[in-house]
Structures are given as structure tokens and as C-alpha cells.
Amino acid sequence: MEKATTIGIDFCGIRCENPFFLATSPAYADYDSLSRALKAGWAGVFYAMDGGEKELDLLHRLKSEYPLKVVVAALPGKKEALVDELFEKVRAAGADALQIDAAAAHFLRGSLPIPLIVKDSSITESSLDAYLSGAGAITVDTRQSTSKNSRNAVHHILKLSSNPILKGLDLSGICDVCGWRNALELLQAGCSTIQVHSDGRTDVCKAIAGLVSGLGEYLSEHGLPDTSSLVGEKSRKLLNLRILAGSSQD
């Protein structure tokens, strides 16, 4: 019996129903808006928080109401010195993972209770520190790259996914609301998940419907069993071309 196509994917060891997440945004920072988004079909949300009690309560409520969704607590850079303390707090509240800025990685001490995602825009010493500190993924904001040409974002992700420093780490790309074909390009370049940023002027409930249906149809039409089958597709082709080019020069 032929196995059915699924758009689910594993990210940092966490099973996600699809690769699409809501990125942190002031427009989606309260329970009602986040709840509507999750109910509409987003695999999860990146929730910006300082670690206050109200935020921890909201996080706990979301996970209690939507246990199969993924909630990532996103800690701002100004809380770097408190990251080790807040790690345990967000875990206790139910967070599936914690996102911190790369510069905060060296503040972590001991074992990590939940997966760590490090937000960085380039490969720096901070990125390497994050890797050595046990990061499971790197978040890259591709919106700067897409301001003039969407191909720049794909090229940027391709460079990162082929960088040996990041071998073994998942990539998560932040982009503005887009169609499924744009999202597909980022996945093929090497992103395991895509964080879609919205300022509230776009109906994210309709947006996720288009992303999910478009990706699902693409996988079915190309005989691919799941999303992970196409992640890094372009990066692998680029690597093969480099190997062939090197062989031809021997």
C-alpha cells in the first residue's frame, strides 16, 4: 500500500504538522490572535516574551489548549544575562523550545531542558558558540535579503545550509507573508521551517490555508513522501556541482 504524502516535518527533534510558523510580531502577541492562528492551521508560533508571569501564563494556556502545536518562547537580546534562569521557567510553562539571540549563547550553563534555537543573521563566532552550546537550529531573518529580490533570500539560505559550521543544525527562515511557491524556494534552499511575519494587515488564517494546500499538492505531484524530502534540495545539487567541478580539475 502506497504511503500517503504528509507535509509534516521534524524540527529540532520536534514533530511539526507542517513547516509554517508565525514569527514574533506585536500584531500576534495576545491569546486570542495566537489561538485563532493555531486553530487555522499554523504548525506553531514564536512568542516574544520577557519571562513575566502573564506571558508565562499565556504560554501555558496555549500549550494546554493546543498540545500538538509547537510554541517557541523567543527571548529578546536585552535579557541575555537571564537566559539560563528563564530557560527553566519557559520549559515549566510548557514551551517546546527557546529562541535566543546568538550573543546570549555563552550565558547558558549546563544541560538544556528543551531544544535551543539561536537567532543570527550571519555566520560569526557567536554562531559557533551557539553550536558548541547545544543549539538545535539557527533562525535567519531573510527579510533584509528579500527587500529587493526574493532570489537574494534563497542565495543567503543556500550559503548557510552549505556552511560546514552549521552541519547538523536545522535552519528556520523568517520572511514576510508570501505564496507557497516562495516558501517552497526557501525550503529547497535549506530551511526546515519558515517563520512568516505579519503586521496584522494580512489575514494569516487565509495565508496558512494557501501555504498548506500549495505545498501538499506540490509534494503529491512530484511523488515526495514528506516535506523533509525537499529540504535542502537546491543545496545538495549545488554541493554535487562543486564536487564535479573539483573532480574535473584533478
Which pLDDT does position 145 carry in this prediction? 52
pLDDT digits (tens, 9 = 90+) for 184-201: 999 999 999 999 999 888
Which pLDDT does position 160 carry in this prediction? 80
What residue ranges do the domains of the chain occupy? Answer: 9-249
pLDDT digits (tens, 9 = 90+) for 213-247: 999 999 999 999 999 999 988 655 544 434 333 43
C-alpha cell read off for 158:
543556500
Express the helix, strand and coil content of the chain in percent, nearest 5 each: 50, 20, 30
9-249 belongs to CATH 3.40.50.620: no
Which pLDDT does position 242 carry in this prediction? 40
Which pLDDT does position 231 carry in this prediction? 92
Which pLDDT does position 4 carry in this prediction? 62
pTM: 0.88
Using CA atoms, how far residue 237 sits from 94, 97, 157, in Å, is 39, 31, 14
Q: Which residues of 46-60 are buried (b: 16+ CB within 10 A; e: fewer)?
A: bbbbebeeebbebbb
Which pLDDT does position 215 carry in this prediction? 96
Which pLDDT does position 121 carry in this prediction? 61
Residues (pLDDT < 50) of the chain are 1-2, 146-148, 238-250
In sequence order, what are the beta bridge partners of 116? 98
Which pLDDT does position 146 carry in this prediction? 46
Which pLDDT does position 7 carry in this prediction? 95
Which pLDDT does position 241 carry in this prediction? 38
Which pLDDT does position 239 carry in this prediction? 46
